[in-house]
Structure 1
Amino acid sequence: MFRISKEFHFSASHQLSHLPQDHQCARLHGHNYIVVVELAAASLNSDGFVRDYHELKPLKDYIDGTFDHRHLNDVLDGPSTAENMAHHFYEWCKARWPEASAVKVSETPKTWAEYRP
């Protein structure tokens, strides 16, 4: 199996208000997010790619236009957790690129959430 990945960045605020009031994530706060999309294929296309990285620009445009410098509670359905964002970005990518195999989202340099069906 061939696998490629590409990383995207954005900054946004969110609040997990369903958590107890004394939980730090219940307060309004923000992160510098990293989103990594992975695509996989058993064989390469005629150009020798899983998919040309340039074809992933629509994801950058989507992130920049919908998520960057936004309040994620106003953008996402359900809690604005990294897990839910990974799932959201995976579904968005899979609808456009059948090779999409996983998405990872980082809120901090030490934390990652991944959705991989």
Structure 2
Amino acid sequence: MYRITKEFHFSASHQLGHLPADHQCARLHGHNYVVVVELASDRLNGDGFVRDYHELKALKDYIDDHFDHRHLNEVLNMPSTAEALARHFFDWCRERWAETSAVKVSETPKTWAEYRP
């Protein structure tokens, strides 16, 4: 199996208001997010790629237009957890690129959430 990944970055705020008031994530705060999309295929296309990295610019544009420097509670119709973001970006990518196999989202350098069906 061939696998490729590409990393994207954005900054945004969010608040997990459903948590107890004394939980740090219940307060308004922000993160410098990292999103890694993974595409996989058992064969390469005619150019020798799983998918040309240039095609993945559409995800950068989507993130820049809808997520970067925004308040995620106003963008998403779900809790704005890293897990929910990973699933959201996976679904968005899978609609465009059938080879999408996983998406990882990091809120901090030490934490990652991944969605992989």
Question: TM-score, normalising length from structure 2?
Answer: 1.00
User: Counterparts of 1:26-41 in structure 2 under 5 Å?
Assistant: 26-41=26-41
Deviation of 1:21 after TM superposition, in Å, equals: 0.1
Q: Which runs of 5+ in 2 are unaligned?
A: none
The runs of 4+ residues in structure 1 deviating greater than 3 Å are none
User: SS of the counterpart of 2:96?
Assistant: coil
CA-based RMSD: 0.3
- Corresponding residue pairs, total: 117
Which residue does 2:91 correspond to in 1?
Answer: 91
SS at match of 1:95: helix
What are structure 1's unaligned runs of at least 5 residues?
none
Aligned to 1:25: 25
In 2, Cα distance between equivalents of 1:96 and 1:53: 13
SS of corresponding position for 1:19 = coil
Q: Map of 1:1-117 to 2, 5 A cutoff?
A: 1-117=1-117
Calculate the TM-score normalised by the size of structure 1: 1.00
Identity of matched residues, %? 79
